[in-house]
Structure 1
Amino acid sequence: MAKRIAVVFDSAGTLLRMYRVAKESSTGNILENIESTAIVAKKNGCGLVALNTDNEIILHSRRDMFLFEFIKEYRVSIGISRSKGKFTPDVACEIIRGAPLLMGDVHDVLNAVTSLCPDSIYLAAGLIVDSEARKVPYVLSTGGQVFGKTLQTIQSLYAMKVDMYIASGDRMSALVQLAELVNIPQERVFAFADPIMKEKVVLELKTRYEKVVMVGDGINDILALRAADVGIMTTQQGDDRPEELRAAADVVLDDIIKVVDVVKGL
């Protein structure tokens, strides 16, 4: 017999309050609160690329070292967190190879996020790659700390015998730290989950549970929100959200703790 309820959480902006910084390659300007997934969603051939390595390794690299040289020397793999149109890791690597990006650019965004959020539970670095323009317009870093009601929400759902999952575009090493903090088993964590993968996670869980709830806040959650029995969009991050995302959700909540009341109603 199918279990009763599963809840799938996005991480950034949903379980975690995010601090986002970008360095604009064309100007060198540092920009705060940039919405990287929204930028990628606007243009075909764009991808949000994560660098899969420890931040300590990044920060101990030479500032004058080219980014592609660093990727090659340290055998850093890259992951695609979000993309639109035709975009692959091979395409991303080819464009990064030709970009005049230095590790100092990556240092700058990591240090900027650290100054904004010194108690971040994780820190990540990445890029936006534009395959049509053949350039890297932004170097990115994100950090996050759990919202004030996140742990209470998870504990309340566990008390109701609800199974919980995380499906996020973040890399696994970052998500494992979050999962351990909120007590969600690692085998229920899906990393580098793009919109299609998030939708597949929800659809697969619907074969095993009577009801599946998706909780997210970004445009990359839209397919999963539509696929779920109940799609919940959260607005506690405070960013503007496109109307199509609101339309895809069954419920819009301004605090994650209110997810508990929605699940009780099921």
Structure 2
Amino acid sequence: MRPPRRTATWWTVGVIALSVVFLAPLAVMVLGSLQRPLQPPPNGLDLWPDPAEWANYPAVARFMPLGGLLLNSLLLVVLAVPVTVAVTSMAGLAIVTARGTARRLLVGVSVLTLLVPAATLWVPRVVLLRGVGLADTPFTVALLALAGTTPFYVLLFALAYSRIPRSLLEAATLEGMSPFAVWRRVALPLARPAAVAVAALAGLYYWSTFMDPLTLVSSPGNWPAALGLRTLSEMEVALYPIYLAAAVLVTAPALLAFGVAQRSFFSSVERR
């Protein structure tokens, strides 16, 4: 049944308004990256570059080793995202298959852990990773994926698994399938939309995070692109077009990946 025409019109208007709100900062960033650097500030609002200074993009390499930083970010995402999906999907299945008090305890622990401020974990992480000799490497931040990155992803998988008939999981167990086989061959394929969503969210998190690398990685050669970009924010205002050009180059892969993940998410939902 189609919604009334008036409702559909207001829905379209709302989507366009939200799109403008979220796309406006990206548009300002792109237009600002094309301004001419080392110029006095304009008297008013001057967003449209005339002429466009495309040389700002190759000039980024003079201020930061962008290629190496992007490679570090790519390796971080490639390592952390599959581990995050695997760990959180297994934990979510453990919550759903638990019974009674055990299930309520697992959900309560997950929610309680989610409420813990991230800043309280910075020092313990540094101490722990330095103690085992795993601090200050290109892969240090990816180790956070072994803890599932965030309990929110566990709860998201638990919600997705709760929609699967419990009798189906029990039948798979009665057929002699191990818990790992039930997860890999039954539960995870049926929760594909949740897996795509968690992969997209985790990928954006590891691509854009700079606080975790700031506390865990001290060597600039091991920094991801987001942390390298953060250091450029201290440039003098007259060089901000180059900083914005670097921001565009760092943001573009994340937007492209998010678009691909969004398409995969909706296609997986339609198949269900």
Q: Normalising to structure 2: TM-score of the pair?
A: 0.25
Q: Rg larger in 1 or in 2?
A: 2
Q: Normalising to structure 1: TM-score of the pair?
A: 0.25
- Flag the structure with higher strand content: 1
